[in-house]
Amino acid sequence: MNRPLLIVSLLVAAGLATLPWLGSDTMIQFGINALLLATLAQSWNILGGFTGYVSFGNSVFYGLGTYGTAIAMTNYNLPFGVGLAIGAVVAMIAALLVGLPILRLRGPYFAIATLGLNGAMMAIFSNLPIAGSNIGLVLPLTRNDAMFYELALGLLVACSLTVLWISRARFGMGLIAVREDEDAAGSMGVNATRYKVAALVMASFFTAIAGGIHAYWSTFVDPASAFDSTLNVRMVISVVFGGPGTVLGPVIGSFILSTVYEVLASQISTAAALLFGVVIVLAVIFMPKGLADILRSRRNLTWRYFIRNIRENRL
Amino acid sequence: MTKDILTIKGLNAGYGAVPVLFDLDLTVREGEIVSMVGSNGAGKTTLLRAISRIIPATGTMTFDGEDLLPLKPEGAFSRGLVQVPEGRQLFGHMTVEENMMMGANRRRDGGVAESFERVYALFPKMKERRRQLAGNMSGGEQQMCAMARALMANPKLLVIDEMSLGLAPVIVDDLLAILTDIRAQGLTVLLVEQDVFAAFSVADRAYVMETGRIVREGPISELANDPAVRDAYLGAEH
């Protein structure tokens, strides 16, 4: 990402920050959801985009952040900030404990191992009295959408700046080396497991904070919404749509998908999910490297680009 | 120039319960090219894995005055023990220049730009191809790129595993000439080879390995005239 693009991005972020004073309530609520999803996608990008490891366990960190905040605020009457911190720390410890064994697995085996985590966590939290078991927890009500909006925006900016740093740092080079060829990375002195675990822990931090913000905003958490595996799928889709391993791709991708989904849902309600699926299938066929690849060079924007992608996909 | 850079004494190593290397002694002195030859299954690659600290080993291994045994692979790498792995193992979807950047990824000193110049001087072809994807190049160019990448780590000892593997003899000759240039810059090389002709044409000393043991060692002039070595590896003339 070059300097002009960075300046434009920061200006856009500053522009978005004014939305609570300009937009309607519906706009603000849509904005909070879109910003949180973009943060989740951007966090998923840290491991999934840079190392190519597809994680279905990020919704676990989201759930831990959600419950960390909810339990701290309802059971112990702690302030919101402390709740967020507790959720983030718990999620990071979980990422470390989970990452150390299963990030030694490669490729699809890692994805399979993470698939089970979400279900296990949901079962555990359904039986934890402190977490309200199956019923869930109700958080103190705060009607301040503008605050949640700014928090979500701030988190997305922080997460994106982290990804920007990764894309330029030696750490990011190591992650990309792992994606390109893990054995070769090893022979270049990259401790692949350590790099991957560090990436997962960073991702878990932002994911958990996003979960905590959402919990306080929606004022209610239960196991099914906290450990929602479809949320994880949406993170993956947003990143793949936008461009894995890029700084702006996941953000733009998730904004566009959020908007498409919202428009479809308001126009045709029930069939929205179906059409959403069609949009994703078309995107994967015609631009498998994501939006970022198209935006990077405008020369690519010819029919040849799309034909080449179809041919490479052997469709 | 007689300082030992790598000293191995009484090395035993293997995979789990299966021993592969037995009581192995090896010394590499600064500024020389030492080659390790042997047929398939002699234990050459196992030796390299033990040296790069990928598999556990017993005995003593000293690298540049420091005990090598307690180090992790990345620790050995950052101290200047750098491998050019068998089969190149390049990052195929990255350009030549990016591959070379990866070699320098653990360096903290500011000499990376200077290293680029030095390595491009050794491999002018890599400078021409620096924007090309490593995976799209010929086998010989890929081997050059792998060596260039390893040199970017500013190694004290360059360990090359099967440099000639799958390459045309003409290309192997080019690479051997570059090895001589590398030595002229004061670098030390441990060349592990099956192609004994190639290895002997460039090395100062050599070790011959069979079933996990060193069976012959000495200067090339001696080994090349050793009847046993001639029979087994160089082809007898009688």
Residue B217 Cα, gap to closest chain A Cα (Å): 28
Residue B58 Cα, gap to closest chain A Cα (Å): 22
Q: Is residue B205 part of a domain?
A: yes
Amino acid at B21: L
Q: Does the beta-carbon distance from B105 to A191 stay under 8 Å? A: no
- Model pLDDT, residue A313: 63
B124 and B145 assigned to the same domain:
yes
B7-17 as b/e: b if 16+ CB within 10 A? bbeebbbbeee
Q: How many domains does chain B have?
A: 2
- Model pLDDT, residue A315: 56
Q: Is residue B173 part of a domain?
A: no
pLDDT of A298 above 70: no
Chain Cα centroid distance, residue A197: 17
Which of B154, B176, B202 represents a domain boundary (last residue)? B154
Which residue has better confidence, B10 or A189? B10
pLDDT of A121 above 80: yes
Structure tokens at B155: 């190694």
Q: Does the beta-carbon distance from B77 to A183 stay under 8 Å? A: no
Structural domain of residue B212, as residue ranges?
1-80+156-167+184-238
Q: Are strands B188-193 and B33-38 parallel, antiparallel or unpaired?
A: parallel
In chain A, where the domains are located: 3-312
What CATH code is assigned to A3-312? 1.10.3470
Amino acid at A119: G
Q: How many residues does chain B have?
A: 238
> Under DSSP, is residue A246 helix (H, G, I), strand (E, B) or coil?
coil
Report yes or no: A200 and A103 within 8 Å, Cβ to Cβ.
yes
| Arithmetic mean of pLDDT, B136-143 | 92
For all residues of chain B together, what is the average pLDDT? 90
Which residue of chain B is at minimal alpha-carbon distance from A188? B103
Nearest to A191 among B74, B85, B103 (CB): B74
| Arithmetic mean of pLDDT, A170-196 | 89
CATH no. for residue B217?
Answer: 3.40.50.300
pLDDT of A262 above 90: no
Report yes or no: A247 and A163 within 8 Å, Cβ to Cβ.
yes
Report yes or no: A203 and A43 within 8 Å, Cβ to Cβ.
yes
Which residue of chain B is at minimal alpha-carbon distance from A171? B105
B75 and B160 assigned to the same domain:
yes
B145 and B163 assigned to the same domain:
no
Lowest-pLDDT range of A134-148, A255-269, A300-314, B92-106? A300-314
pLDDT of A307 above 80: no
Which residue of chain B is at minimal alpha-carbon distance from A181? B91
- Model pLDDT, residue B238: 47
Q: Kindly report the number of other CB atoms within 10 A of residue B127's CB atom.
A: 16
pLDDT of A18 above 60: yes
A78-90 as b/e: b if 16+ CB within 10 A? eebeebbbbbbeb
Q: Which of B91, B152, B154 to mutate to test the interface with A (most CBs of A within 10 A)?
A: B91
| Nearest alpha carbon to residue B85 among B147, B39, B137 | B147
The verdict on pTM exceeding 0.90 is no
pLDDT of A191 above 80: yes
- Chain B positions in Cβ-Cβ contact with residue A185 (cut-off 8 Å): 102
> Under DSSP, is residue B79 helix (H, G, I), strand (E, B) or coil?
coil
The complex scores an ipTM of 0.72
B122 and B197 assigned to the same domain:
no
- Chain A positions in Cβ-Cβ contact with residue B72 (cut-off 8 Å): 191
Nearest to B77 among A176, A177, A189 (CB): A189
**In this predicted model, what pLDDT tens digit does every residue of A79-111 receive, in sequence order?**
999 999 999 999 999 999 999 999 888 878 888
- Percentage of residues of chain A with pLDDT beyond 70: 97
**In this predicted model, what pLDDT tens digit does every residue of B47-93 receive, in sequence order?**
998 998 888 999 999 999 999 999 988 889 989 999 998 888 899 88
B63 and B85 assigned to the same domain:
no
- Chain A positions in Cβ-Cβ contact with residue B82 (cut-off 8 Å): 189
Which residue of chain B is at minimal alpha-carbon distance from A183? B89
- The chain A residues in contact with chain B (CB within 8 A) are 170, 173-174, 176-177, 180-181, 183-191
B144 and B208 assigned to the same domain:
no
